[in-house]
Chains A and B, each alone.
Chain A
Amino acid sequence: MSAMKTSFTRLALAAGLGAAVAAGGVVAASAEEPKRGGVLRIVVAGKIPSYDGHRESTFAMIHPIRPFYSLLIRVNPDNPQSADFVCDLCEGDVPKPTNEGKTYTFKLRQGVEFHDGTPLTADDVVATYNKIVFPPEGILSNRESRFSMVETISAPDDHTVQFDLKYASPGFIPIVATPFNFIYAKNDLEREDPEGKDPHYGLKWHQSNINGTGAFSFVEHQPGSHVLGKRHEKYHHEGKPYLDGYKAISAPKMSVRIQSIRGGRADIEFRGFPPKARDDLVKALGEDITVQESAWNCTFGYGANQHKELFKDKRVRQALTLALDRWGASKYLSKIAIVKTVGGLALPGHPVATDEETLKTYYGYWPDIEKSREKARELLKEAGAEGASFKIWNRAVDQPYKAVGTWMIDQWRQIGLNVEQIVVPTGPWYAGLRDPSAEGADVNIWPSCQSVVNPVVDAGAWISKSRAPDNRGHYEDPVLDGWYDEMQQESDPAKQLELYRKFEKRVLHEEAHFGQILWWHKINPHRSFVKGWKIAPSHYLNQSLDQVWLDLPDEEREQRTMDELGG
């Protein structure tokens, strides 16, 4: 059992996994002494829906709100490229399971306080996880189903939390480390409605109120403008945070976010910019800008709608994938779009990911694109689909949707197909994806973004439509469903890997249900004086900001604190 756990919680991702590189400056490999003080200015693209991490799933909430909260465990902030988890509110190492992999016991740090001064106890963690895992009717918990392996959560004493699982599950620890699992105070969760109307008042309290144990405490939120936080003096990681505070400024337009970093109004943006923006910033600011880059835990692919007659024939689906020059796109398309890495279903570099040599034997990954397209034409002919016409159902978002969609048209035209791209706003796009008969939704763009790298659990995206409503190929495949279920409960890493390989080969090659094109590529240019932050393979991860500091002269840091926090 411990070997199994090792494979998913301890194995570092291969060194090549999006190793941070410097494009214009030098990534801070600093052994410098962190300086205390100052306020970090962040620009955030989206609009905060509510403050409740258990309910929401957007980075627009994570980036401004996550620094107010702690997690039970988190991705190692000093090594976020790894699958290495460390304790946040727990003590020592992340616990190993006992009871044949079915029991996890977390010892909590002592002396931790919420921002309102309430001491943290095991009851707070239990109440929090009961809300996430077993929410009552009327309370939305967006990751409830991911904790389906949990049977009970209990507190044997004030500083011990125990999770008992129904079955041994290697996916449990990564799910606990999900950055949305904010720890709340039991007192807050049990608050009573002053008007006596809402029995779940306390469980909804965090939607519009903040009280955590994070590195920063809440100062103000001006909706649509900014969120301001200041240092939590009793933060449980000694000596941290270094900053006096941070200000997360809402800026929906990408050009504003880019120019605000250039013009000194913001220091960093955590989601990611396209290559052109990186190059412009580097050109304008030279050494004042530092660029960190990484593979991004977001697949970008398509699903041919198998409710449509044309795509019921797997030879047509195989022809589609064979026509795509992924290796060429990795070189050229990546210059204009935020996609880069060729890979299968698992994030390249992860222990579960298929190696390049094996991948090159799958349809669509052959190194010789001419040979590949010849085979595609042959399959189309056999299927009687030469010169077929269809539409790509795409989202009206430039990066990477429209850029890659346009590239796909060119690729498929090269095997004689007549392809048109239908670009619609996000709302109608989702509506079209859900409706298998939707006009224009022939080949559906199918991205999938996750936070913690957890390929075995995330493979659930590609099982049958009846079980995975987000399945954009609208197919049923009981064989895949069976293998997926087996994988979730397989405690032998070797057997689990074997199952994953079979699963992946069927999805990408044998049935060509899903056409994985390229993995997203995360580019974070930031002001060079921002130190201590390390890029992670997801824009949801490493956002506690407790390790960030500003390498600015003392008076500039003080001035920032004066300007934003009034001293």
Chain B
Amino acid sequence: MYKYVVKRILLLIPTLLGAAILVFLLLRAVPGDVCQLRLGGGGEFVDPAALEQCKVLLGLKDPLHVQLVDFLAGFATFNFGESMWTGRPVSYEIALRFELSLQIAIMATLVSIIVAIPLGTISAIKQNTWIDYVVRTISIAGIAIPSFWLGIIIILGLLITTQAWTGTPWMPPIDYRPLWQDPAYNLSMLIWPAVATGYRYSAVATRMTRSALLEVLREDYVRTARAKGLLEKMIINRHALRNSLLPVVTIIGIEFAFLMGGLVVTEQVFNLNGIGKLFVESVTNQDYVMTQSLVMLVVTIFVLVNLVVDILYAVLDPRIRYS
């Protein structure tokens, strides 16, 4: 196991290097530059000399291989450089938003686990009954409805219903206060995006739990357990559910990693100052340095989460051993 973990961590190096080169080249292939956007993005007058000077100051005039080496050297030493748009260190900009993104990811994951495992289990046990049909309808709707659309509906719904009931429209806060500073304010802001993303997330996990559990329930050892006269509750909880959770854990892990960097549109809808919003802004502003760093952050999170999921496999299923 130990050797396996070390091997996986060493594999991170070529994976990250490949991703770094790829993202560097792809970003440079997009026409345009940050200076033009910064100095004249709104159609304002731009002094050509200022434009040239901006490019020099940001290193855009350096040959491509010099820029690449600078980026790789910086990445290797955890010095991600400074944002081309704000001039602040990339690590500072990311750290500022990481807390919010992490909180949303955890809240959405909790929503998902709380909803998906019981519903998926009930749906499997009550297969082809009206309960199963209701759960399946809800979960298929969750997969079909984009989170951002649900977010918009939630905001509009809050505005309309609060205006109808109290005469004053209310919507969630649009500026962040940390949980430890103002818990009520924080939760009144973040519960809605957590529900919007958690719903889609739980829909996927519900369907996965249901199908995995149905498969396990058809296994010989479950039939044996029933033949032995074990209580159905015990069969489900101790034997079937645990074994059916492997694919569910995979899904939850991947979705968690996705939430950490992928809440691009939902963060915009709820005006959350998270990693996803930073991603959109850096791409829009052609801030290569920031975009590169964010891509590398997401790649790293994905790789690490996959590693954790693989280790969890062994914990959940004693038959799995890595060597």
Same complex:
yes
Our pick among B41, B48, B97, B171 for the contact of A260 (Cβ within 8 Å) is B171
Interface string of A231-248 (1 = CB under 8 A from B): 000000000000000010
Q: Does B46 contact A (CB under 8 A)?
A: yes
Q: Is B143 an interface residue (CB 8 A)?
A: no
Q: Are B38 and A432 in contact (CB under 8 A)?
A: no
Query: A426 and B269: CB pair below 8 A?
Result: no
Q: Quick one: CB contact mask for A257-269 with B, threshold 8 Å, 1 for yes?
A: 0011011111000
- CB of A56 within 8 Å of the partner chain: yes
| Chain B residues whose CB sits within 8 angstroms of the CB of A247 once the complex forms | 175
Residue A50 lies at the interface, judged by CB distance under 8 Å to chain B: yes
Across the interface, do B278 and A224 meet the contact criterion of CB distance under 8 Å?
yes
A426 to B284, CA, bound (A): 7
Task: Count residues on chain B whose CB falls below 8 Å from chain A CBs.
Answer: 56
Residue B63 interfacial (CB < 8 Å):
no
Q: Give the nearest-CB partner of B168 in chain A.
A: A264
Q: Is A35 positioned at the interface, with any CB of B under 8 Å from its CB?
A: no
Q: Is B280 an interface residue (CB 8 A)?
A: yes
- Given A226-B175, A255-B152: A425 in contact with B284 (beta carbons within 8 A): yes
- Interface size range on A against B: 35 or more
Q: Which of A184-201 contact B (CB under 8 A)?
A: none
**Is B81 on the interface with A (CB-CB < 8 A)?**
no
- Are A427 and B31 also in contact (CB < 8 A) when A222-B273, A470-B40 are? yes
Check if B44 sits within 8 Å of A427, measured CB to CB.
no
Interface assignment of A447: CB less than 8 Å from any CB of chain B = yes
* Inter-chain contact A265/B49, CB cutoff 8 Å: no
On whether A426 and B37 interact (CB within 8 A), knowing A43-B174, A208-B88, A253-B269, the answer reads yes
Please indicate which of the listed interface residues B42, B45, B173 has the most CB atoms of chain A within 10 Å of its own CB.
B45
Say yes or no: B37 contacts A427, CB within 8 Å: yes
- Could you say which of A57, A138, A252, A264 contacts B40, with CB atoms under 8 Å apart? A57
* B residues less than 8 Å from A57 (CB atoms): 38-40, 42, 44-46
Given A47-B285, A48-B86, also A141-B50 (CB < 8 A): yes
Tell me whether A251 and B271 are in contact (CB under 8 A): yes
B33 interfacial contact with A, CB 8 Å: yes
Q: Does B14 contact A (CB under 8 A)?
A: no
- Interface residue ranges of A25-52 to B (CB < 8 Å): 43, 47-50
A140 within 8 A of B: yes
- Among B85, B87, B159, point to the contact of A47 (Cβ < 8 A): B85
Across the interface, which residues of A come within 8 angstroms of B87, CB to CB? 49-50, 207-208
Tell me if A437 is interfacial: C-beta within 8 Å of chain B. no
Distance of A354 Cα from B48 Cα, bound (Å): 30
Total cross-chain contacts (CB, 8 A):
165
Residues on B with beta carbons closer than 8 Å to the beta carbon of A47: 85-86, 281, 285
- Whether A427 and B171, one on each chain, are in contact in the complex, defined by CB atoms closer than 8 angstroms, is no
- Residue A390 at the B interface, CB < 8 A? no
Given A140-B50, A222-B273: A260 in contact with B38 (beta carbons within 8 A)? no
Q: Check B155 for interface membership: any CB of A closer than 8 A.
A: yes
Is there a chain B Cβ closer than 8 Å to A362's Cβ? Answer: no
Decide yes or no whether B277 CB sits under 8 A from chain A: yes
With a cutoff of 8 Å between Cβ atoms, the chain B residues found around residue A264 in the complex are: 168-171
A252-B277 contact in complex given A142-B47, A265-B173, A448-B43, C-beta closer than 8 Å: yes
Given contacts A141-B50, A426-B32, whether A256 and B269 have CB atoms under 8 Å apart is yes
Residues of B within 8 A of A131 (CB): none
Distance to closest chain A CB from B293 (angstroms):
15
> How far does the alpha carbon of A436 sit from the alpha carbon of B51 in the complex, in Å?
19
Interface membership of A506, Cβ < 8 A: no
Contact with A along B75-102 (1 / 0, CB 8 A): 0000000000111100001001100000
CA distance A48 to B163 in the complex (A): 34
B36 close to chain A: CB less than 8 A: yes
Interface flag for B258 (CB, 8 Å): no
Whether B284 pairs with A449 at a CB distance below 8 angstroms is no
Residue A7 lies at the interface, judged by CB distance under 8 Å to chain B: no
B30 CB within 8 Å of chain A: yes
Q: B300 contacts the other chain (Cβ, under 8 Å)?
A: no
Residues of the B chain whose Cβ atoms lie less than 8 Å from the Cβ of A250: 271, 273
Q: Does A428 contact B (CB under 8 A)?
A: yes
Most buried by B among A58, A225, A260, A449: A225
**B99 → chain A closest CB, angstroms:** 12
Closest residue on chain B to residue A139 by CB atoms: B53
B-contacting residues, A390-436, CB 8 Å: 425-432, 434
**A residues in contact with B156, CB < 8 Å:** 259
Interface membership of B57, Cβ < 8 A: yes
Distance (whole angstroms) from the CB of B56 to the closest CB of chain A: 8
The residue that A430 contacts in the complex, of B32, B57, B170, B174, with Cβ under 8 A, is: B32
Give bound CA distance, A140 to B44, whole Å: 16
Residues of chain A within 8 A (CB-CB) of B57 are 138, 140
Indicate if the CB atoms of B169 and A263 lie closer than 8 Å.
yes
Q: For A207, what are the chain B residues with a Cβ–Cβ distance below 8 Å?
A: 87
Q: Chain B residues near A448 (CB, 8 Å)?
A: 43, 45
Q: Is A330 an interface residue (CB 8 A)?
A: no
Question: Is B250's beta carbon under 8 Å from chain A?
Answer: no
Nearest-CB residue, chain A, relative to B33: A427
CB-defined contacts of A224 to chain B, threshold 8 Å: 93, 96-97, 273, 277-278, 281
Nearest first, the 5 A-B pairs at minimum CB distance are A427-B32, A263-B171, A431-B31, A447-B43, A431-B32
The residues of A with any CB-CB pair to B shorter than 8 Å are 43, 47-50, 56-59, 138, 140-146, 207-208, 222-226, 247, 249-253, 255-256, 259-260, 262-266, 284-285, 298, 425-432, 434, 447-450, 458, 460-461, 469-470
A-B contact pairs, 14 of them (CB 8 A): A43-B174, A49-B38, A138-B53, A140-B53, A143-B45, A222-B273, A224-B273, A249-B174, A250-B273, A251-B174, A259-B155, A428-B30, A428-B31, A430-B33
